[in-house]
Amino acid sequence: MAPPSTSALRAPAMTARPWWPELWRTLIPAALLLLALMAPVMSDYALEIGFRLLLLVALAEAWNLMAGYGGLVSLGTASFVGVGAYVLTGAVNKAGLHWALALPLGGLAGALLALVVSRAVFRLRGLYFTVGTLALAEALRLFMVNFAPFGGATGLFLAVDPPGLQGLFGVALSVLVVTTVVMEVATRSRFSILLRTVRDDEDAAAQVGVRPFRIKLITFMLASFLMGLAGAAQGLKLGAIEPYGMFGMNWTVTVLSVVVIGGQGLRAGPVVGAVFVVALAELLADWPAVHLAITGVILIAVIRFAPQGLVGLGLALLRRRDFGSGGAR
């Protein structure tokens, strides 16, 4: 029998499964546990920044599920954030619910809104879907501005005092835990394969027995639930909400920037992007015009030179290193 060739001996090293996805899945629960343990000793400033960071990661994860994994590039993030905040405030003020019980209602309201508009927006594909979701957010904002029972342009004030900074940090951490569980289930199950199939070619997926509408609807509702949950947490923190802020384009643009910079369709992308965006905002807090300009330049540079974001660029370097070391043995 002839001895195995050199290329055959090298094949296992070159086709071995990458180690970084498993490392990331190990780091996620460890990081969440560490944040929970650190909360009692964190300063007010750290708690404030931590709340914003955790909520932004949750929103970016939800958007990444839709766009990165499902190909549903939406510009309607503000729709679900705003609905979640208003439902929480209404449930506390009108129904007398405790804010902890009203919080999940904000997520359910986001999912219900997604279900109601799904028939209309799913008739659109590609850029038309993106524009349609943007129109939905603007329509809701204008409706809330002119609808007096919801406070009109003045908005609503929460009838109870929101929890302290540590309590709010715990709320944001809980939202992120729920988001992480949803993302782990959605990206590590058979549903992930169906989702990517619909994303890559919806017509071909339908021909092999996949039901694209059902897959897109589940994804849309899951992401909208998470966005509504995050919006409810933000409404709880503010204690006073109004349409221009809760339905503003700032939510959509910020979340989009986080995912693009971090890496679309990658599990670590929202985390890296959120840390980068929040850190940059704090460093340039006294120069808002400069902050806006620098953020725009960074987005252009990432789209042009690292289309898979910072995480995608890092993974490409790791693959090149592993490939090179495998070939050198």
Confirm whether 95 is domain-assigned.
Answer: yes
Per the structure block, which two tokens stand in for 7? 């290329």
| DSSP bridge partners of 156 | 241
* Per-residue model confidence as pLDDT tens digits over 16-30: 455 556 666 677 778
Q: pLDDT at position 17, please?
A: 55
| DSSP bridge partners of 241 | 156
Confirm whether 178 is domain-assigned.
Answer: yes
CA angle 6, 7, 13 (to 5 degrees): 105
* Per-residue model confidence as pLDDT tens digits over 305-323: 988 999 988 888 877 876 6
Confirm whether 130 is domain-assigned.
Answer: yes
Tell me the mean pLDDT in the region 265-294. 91
Q: Answer yes or no: are the C-beta atoms of 295 and 280 closer than 8 Å.
A: yes
* Per-residue model confidence as pLDDT tens digits over 226-260: 999 999 999 999 999 999 999 998 999 999 999 99
Question: Among candidates 259, 132, 265, which has minimal Cα distance to 195?
Answer: 265
Q: pLDDT at position 258, please?
A: 95
Confirm whether 12 is domain-assigned.
Answer: no
Confirm whether 140 is domain-assigned.
Answer: yes
Range of the domain at 96: 41-248
| Gyration radius of the chain over CA positions | 22
Q: Answer yes or no: are the C-beta atoms of 229 and 107 closer than 8 Å.
A: yes
Q: How many domains does the chain have?
A: 1
- Determine the angle formed by the axes of helices 190-200 and 212-238, rounding to 10 degrees: 100
